[in-house]
């Protein structure tokens, strides 16, 4: 049995990322770990329902021995067995993010080189989590450049706080993962925005569309409004997509009920302008998410915006499981170049 890795879940921002990354790394490397002070930096520390689903899903996929897998637990022991790709179904059982459950399992499963399929139930559009649109259009788009083939089928979307979404993803890899190199964006191919809503006054999405068009200077035809009739509960999400030759970025804004559409749009537009003016190809959210598949695969290089606490915490966590060089170089205009050494992890 490999030596047990000890982790402190209060490091960095003190959220659930250390746990999710450790699960993925443990599954892929076969190295057991023990984590204490789980989510110590959050208002409600310990395992919430979506984190517990991540643990149980990971344990099921690799027949792991687990201690501490219960709601509110602040300590966990995880001893993985061999991974078993196949067909799986996981339900968060609340509005907890189903996309975070998927991102916990994905980096490890794609290293097997074998196909797998997952059906997930829970939230698909949650604050502080990648939306299902981001997952498909941005995250998976980058992984497809590494040789991953993935297809998403959405049965219904689930907005926070009601949740209730359901979707299936089928994944295959064509041999060993390829290195990912994204030093620049390339030429711009297009830009679109979508106001995604359900069970709110229709005038609010139209106000958002008009404000986005005027504020960004985009053609109104590039900003659509979609009523998500498949969602069990109400919601209002705004998505701005910027497509380039080598990368796609998506900025997302969630409208807490009671906020004006214009105020929500102002925040999104500020993020869009910040990304456009900065010049780095990989947005700060995607930078964090690319590290695990690159470190478990064939490495590569990308340029991004100043590293978030999430990303720095991820780099530190990866270093505990893998003898894999991850070098961060500060460049001009606040650009950070991240290089993951190539070769076997």
Active site residues per annotation: 310
β-pair type (300-304, 180-182): parallel
Tell me the HSE value of 93 on the side-chain side, using a 13 A CA sphere.
10
Q: How far apart are CA 253 and CA 240, in angstroms?
A: 9
By the 8 A CB rule, do 11 and 316 touch? yes
Q: How far apart are CA 61 and CA 80, in angstroms?
A: 9
DSSP string, 60-81: HHHT-EEE--STT-SEEEEE--
For residue 22, what are the CA distances in angstroms to 7, 117, 153, 285, 308?
9, 22, 28, 18, 18
Between strands 165-173 and 148-156, the pairing is: antiparallel
Cβ within 8 Å of residue 1, ≥6 positions away: 32, 79
The dihedral built from the CA positions of residue 245, 141, 198 and 48, taken in this order, carries a sign that is negative
Q: Which of 251, 244, 243 lies closest to 271, judged by CA?
A: 251
The SS3 assignment for 312 reads helix
Angle formed by the axes of helices 284-296 and 309-321, to 10°?
10
In whole angstroms, give the CA distance from residue 132 to residue 102: 10
Residue 119: other Cβ atoms inside 10 A? 17
Residue 59 φ then ψ, to 5°: -65, -40
Which letter does DSSP use for residue 127 in this model? T
């Amino acid at each position: 049995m490999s030596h047990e890795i000890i982790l402190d879940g209060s490091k960095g921002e003190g959220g659930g990322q250390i746990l999710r990354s450790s699960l993925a790394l443990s599954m892929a490397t076969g190295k057991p770990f023990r984590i204490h002070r789980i989510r110590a930096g959050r208002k409600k520390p310990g395992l919430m329902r979506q984190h517990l689903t991540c643990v149980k899903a990971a344990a099921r996929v690799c027949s792991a021995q687990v201690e501490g897998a219960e709601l509110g637990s602040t300590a966990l022991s995880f001893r993985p067995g061999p991974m078993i790709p196949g067909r799986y179904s996981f339900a968060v059982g609340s509005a907890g993010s189903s996309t975070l459950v998927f991102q916990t399992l994905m980096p490890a499963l794609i290293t097997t080189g074998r196909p797998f399929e997952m059906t997930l139930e829970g939230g698909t559009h949650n604050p502080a989590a990648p939306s299902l649109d981001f997952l498909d259009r941005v995250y998976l788009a980058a992984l497809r450049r590494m040789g991953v083939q993935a297809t998403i089928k959405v049965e219904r979307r689930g907005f926070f706080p009601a949740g209730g979404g359901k979707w299936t993803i089928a994944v295959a890899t064509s041999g060993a993962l390829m290195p990912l190199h994204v030093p620049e964006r390339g030429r711009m191919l297009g830009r679109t925005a979508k106001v995604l809503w359900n069970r709110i006054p229709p005038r609010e999405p139209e106000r958002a569309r008009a404000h986005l068009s005027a504020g960004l200077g985009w053609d109104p035809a590039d900003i659509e409004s979609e009523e998500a009739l498949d969602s069990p509960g109400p919601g209002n999400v705004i998505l701005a997509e910027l497509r380039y030759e080598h990368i796609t970025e998506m900025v997302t804004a969630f409208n807490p009920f009671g906020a004006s559409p214009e105020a929500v749009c102002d925040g999104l537009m500020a993020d869009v302008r910040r990304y456009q003016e900065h010049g780095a190809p990989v947005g700060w959210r995607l930078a964090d998410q690319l590290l695990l598949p690159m470190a478990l695969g064939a490495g590569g290089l990308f340029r991004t915006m100043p590293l978030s606490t999430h990303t720095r915490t991820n780099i530190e966590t990866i270093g505990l499981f893998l003898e894999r060089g991850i070098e961060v170089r500060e460049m001009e205009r606040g650009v950070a170049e991240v290089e993951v050494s190539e070769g076997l992890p």
